[in-house]
């Protein structure tokens, strides 16, 4: 439920109709039929399952800056891009940067391939520099070439949880903190993912990977409990795929405790869940590690390969939409940056299952 809009789903049509009838008697509702559009997220119904996308939102985003003359690129950020807070000169008005980052953050709800770029560029919102804006324009050029992509959620009668986790040790050039990335699949459908810089500096790649494992283990534990409350059982043990052998040994073998005393106690949460039978750790070669796309910028071929594995597909069917855009204020010009701006305000009227009158 969001304010006066609500989605109802279930496998028993009679019960769904009963709930709608009860709500109508209590409040008065309008039945808008099958879900197609909700809070800026479009839902396309395909034989393979449903696709979540934000095509209209992406179109509106690309209207903010005129990049029609720029060619699309194959990756969200340039290869080996290392940004710091001191790079370049400060932007006179950071409003544009902040608006774009806010919209990119929302767009990443259906675009896991943007997660690493968004978490990287979000670190400079307080004082963005010209180099940060150039990297942001590179991200927009990538979005321009992949504007029709969405996340495919496939139907399946045999449910299982699988997690892929990775870390990029000491990748931040300023703080030398590592980046955690994990992707959690329900069968072959991506349902949870994260790309985030770790809170502390890790002394080894194994420690950085172990911290990533702990975060993924916490998310899997929460998802197992949530799905059990929804009546989905037999999900244990969930498999965590890791490409670091030392991390797997630490998670399985308490004898390694002497070597890992400096790691916070909460990181040993993973080991406890392995002993409980909630999780099992499995080695996976780096080339097949889906979470790799959440920790670094990859070559275009590998980026495209992992995006496909995560369920990113090109959506052709057009959803039924309600809403539009209206100019919020006249176009602004930043001559010193050579950028023409036109900021729009989204009309958040939505088409969904029910709307309270």
User: Mean pLDDT across the chain, nearest whole number?
Assistant: 83
Centre a 10 Å sphere on the Cβ of residue 154 and count the other Cβ atoms it contains.
13
Structure tokens at 54: 């934000």
166-225 pLDDT, tens digit each: 998 888 787 888 999 999 999 999 999 999 998 888 888 888 888 899 899 999 999 999
pLDDT of residue 337 exceeding 80 = no
Q: Mean of the pLDDT values across residues 84-113?
A: 92
Q: Mean of the pLDDT values across residues 324-346?
A: 38
Centre a 10 Å sphere on the Cβ of residue 69 and count the other Cβ atoms it contains.
5
CA-closest candidate to residue 75, choices 263, 264, 230, 305: 305
Structural domains of the chain, with CATH:
51-149+318-345 (no CATH), 157-314 (3.30.420.10)
- DSSP-derived pairing of the beta strands 179-186 and 332-334: unpaired
Q: Mean of the pLDDT values across residues 276-300?
A: 90
Please give the torsion angle defined by the CA atoms of residues 101, 104, 108 and 114, in that order, rounded to the nearest 10 degrees. Answer: -90
Please tell me the predicted confidence (pLDDT) of residue 195.
94
pLDDT of residue 328 exceeding 50 = no
As a whole number of angstroms, the distance between CA 82 and CA 79 comes to: 9
Confidence grade of residue 68 (pLDDT, cut at 50, 70, 90): confident
Orientation angle between helical segments 205-229 and 269-276, nearest 10 degrees: 50
Range from 253-267, 275-289, 321-335 carrying the lowest mean pLDDT: 321-335
Percent of the chain at pLDDT above 90?
46
As a whole number of angstroms, the distance between CA 250 and CA 262 comes to: 13
CA-closest candidate to residue 50, choices 238, 220, 190, 224: 190
As a whole number of angstroms, the distance between CA 350 and CA 322 comes to: 6
Please tell me the predicted confidence (pLDDT) of residue 257.
58
- Identify the residue with better confidence: 339 or 68: 68
CA-closest candidate to residue 284, choices 247, 321, 330: 247
């Amino acid at each position: 439920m969001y304010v006066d809009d609500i989605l109802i789903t279930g496998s028993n049509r009679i019960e769904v109709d009963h709930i709608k009838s009860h709500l109508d008697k209590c409040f008065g509702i309008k039945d808008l039929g099958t879900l197609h559009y909700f809070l800026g997220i479009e839902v396309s119904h395909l034989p393979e399952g449903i696709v979540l996308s934000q095509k209209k939102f992406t179109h509106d985003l690309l209207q903010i800056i005129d990049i029609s003359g720029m060619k699309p690129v194959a990756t969200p950020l340039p290869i080996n891009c290392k940004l710091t807070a001191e790079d370049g000169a400060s932007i006179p008005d950071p409003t544009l940067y902040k608006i774009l980052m806010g919209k990119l953050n929302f767009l990443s709800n259906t675009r896991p391939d943007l997660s690493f770029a968004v978490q990287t560029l979000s670190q400079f919102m307080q004082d963005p520099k010209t180099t940060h804006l150039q990297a942001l324009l590179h991200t927009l050029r990538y979005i321009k070439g992949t504007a029709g992509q969405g996340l495919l959620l496939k139907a399946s009668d045999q449910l299982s949880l699988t997690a892929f986790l990775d870390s990029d040790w000491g990748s931040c050039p300023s703080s030398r903190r590592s980046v955690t990335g994990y992707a959690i699949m329900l069968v072959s459908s991506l349902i949870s993912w994260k790309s985030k810089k770790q809170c502390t500096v890790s002394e080894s790649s194994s420690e950085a990977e172990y911290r990533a494992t702990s975060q993924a283990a916490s998310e899997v534990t929460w998802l197992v409990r949530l799905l059990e409350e929804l009546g989905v059982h037999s999900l244990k043990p969930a498999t965590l795929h890791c490409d670091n052998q030392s991390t797997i040994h630490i998670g399985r073998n308490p004898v390694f405790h002497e070597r890992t005393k400096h790691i916070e106690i909460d990181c040993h949460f993973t080991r406890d869940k392995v002993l409980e039978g909630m999780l099992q750790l499995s080695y996976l070669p780096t080339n097949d590690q889906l979470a790799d796309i959440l920790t670094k910028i990859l070559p275009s071929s590998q980026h495209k390969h992992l995006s496909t594995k995560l369920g990113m597909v090109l959506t052709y069917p057009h959803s039924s939409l309600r809403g539009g855009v209206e100019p919020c204020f006249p176009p602004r010009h930043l001559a010193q940056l050579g950028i023409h701006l036109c900021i729009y305000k989204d009309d958040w009227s939505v088409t969904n299952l029910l709307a309270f009158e």
